[in-house]
Amino acid sequence: MKAILTILILPIISLGAQHPRSLKNTDHTVIYRNQGQYSAFPRLYQLPDGTLHVMFQARVTSSHVEPRADAKRFISKDGGRTWQATDDDALNPEWASGPTKPGRLVDANAHAWRYVAADRRDEFERQGIEVRNSPDGRVTYAYGCYVRISEDNGITWTQRDIDVPEKGLIMSFLGPATDLRLDANTILCSVYGRPTANFRFYESWLLRSEDDGLTWDFLTVAADPKQKRSFGETSIAEAANGDIVAMMRTEPALGTKMWTTHSTDRGETWSKAVETNLHGHPPHLLTLSDGNMLCTYGFRDEPIGIRAALSRDNGRTWLEEDIISLRSDGSGRPGDNGYPLTVELDDGSLVSVFYITRDGITGIEATRWENPWN
């Protein structure tokens, strides 16, 4: 009788992805945590004078379609070490047309959630628009895009809708991650949504203008015709070589990696989307002063926290050995964490702002850290 040799092939586990190195020289700061409030989805702007400005909503419930919220704003004058509440609003620096058009600002985006009385549900559903229940008893829908323009540095605005194809749902993401001005005339803004109401998967789209906001194209960044992959919240950035890089959240939310695509013609056309080594979401892309590209993102499996990765080839590849952990002390239900935005300071240090749940409270926090890849 011949002996039967059984070979057991075990999966190769990448410790780089599961156990990234943690940074030692980090400075963690609480910006806002309040028992009984759900504070999430911060926007972080680095203003021309170096001031860091954070704005977010402190909500009544953790529902992502919760309209009952207090607007909160904080600033830091010392590179993210300390934060103070402010009543001042901030304008996204990406809106500015530049020195040849002083005072002109162009802000384009999706309308995102709009709230109406519950008895209007049928009205919108008949139009093929997805409708969801709001925690305050109304219903909400996300449909359409707009552009608003100011010629006096934001004192007054004119606003109009942008003509876009009929969709079931169109959503915005975080402005600093999605807004990209290439020059005095070329503006990009990534949005995402569902092609038809209640469709299973999201698609990633782009608003693009070549005449400083007068006219707009609505382009597809990534969509899966086989309906096996969802491309949602998308961050865009211009790489050091001039490519436009898009990093996308994919679904299902847990157990997936983010996908990326590139444009070599300033956002007009996009390469086939490919999977990266970055497990988590959603992303924020930032081209650093040394020409490398940084991606910060939420990590929603244990240990819950915030991670960062580096691309040394203009966003083409993201090596597992270049993944680091900024925070690993989150808790709460899976998925209730993340949405980091990062800025690079004049001295090369980095400040990331995000939301994180700890001890049952969801709040806004910041981490100041040194570039470990230098």
Tokens of 1: 């009788």
CA distance 241 to 12: 35
Q: Which helix (H) or strand (E) holds 39?
A: strand 38-46
- Dump the DSSP string for 78-105: STTSS-EE-------GGGB--TTSTT-E
Domain range list for the chain: 24-92+175-369
Q: What does pTM read for this prediction?
A: 0.93
pLDDT tens for each residue of 134-166: 999 999 999 999 999 999 999 999 999 999 999
Q: What residues are paired with 180 via a beta bridge?
A: 188
Is cis: bond before 225, omega within 30 of 0?
Answer: no
pLDDT tens for the chain, 374 residues: list them: 333 332 233 333 333 445 788 787 899 999 999 999 999 999 999 999 999 999 999 999 999 999 999 999 999 999 999 999 999 999 999 999 999 999 999 999 999 999 999 999 999 999 999 999 999 999 999 999 999 999 999 999 999 999 999 999 999 999 999 999 999 999 999 999 999 999 888 999 999 999 999 999 999 999 987 778 899 999 999 999 999 999 999 976 555 899 999 999 999 999 999 999 999 999 999 999 999 999 999 998 889 999 999 999 999 999 999 999 999 999 877 668 999 999 999 999 999 999 999 999 999 999 999 999 98
Q: What residues are paired with 114 via a beta bridge?
A: 141
CA distance 28 to 365: 7
The angle formed by the CA atoms of residues 353, 357 and 361, to the nearest 5 degrees, is 115
CATH architecture of 24-92+175-369: 6 Propeller (2.120)
Yes or no: say if 349 and 25 are a contact pair by the CB < 8 Å rule. Answer: no
DSSP at 362: E
For 83-108, letters b (16+ CB in 10 Å) and e give beeeeeebebebbbbeeeeeebbbbb
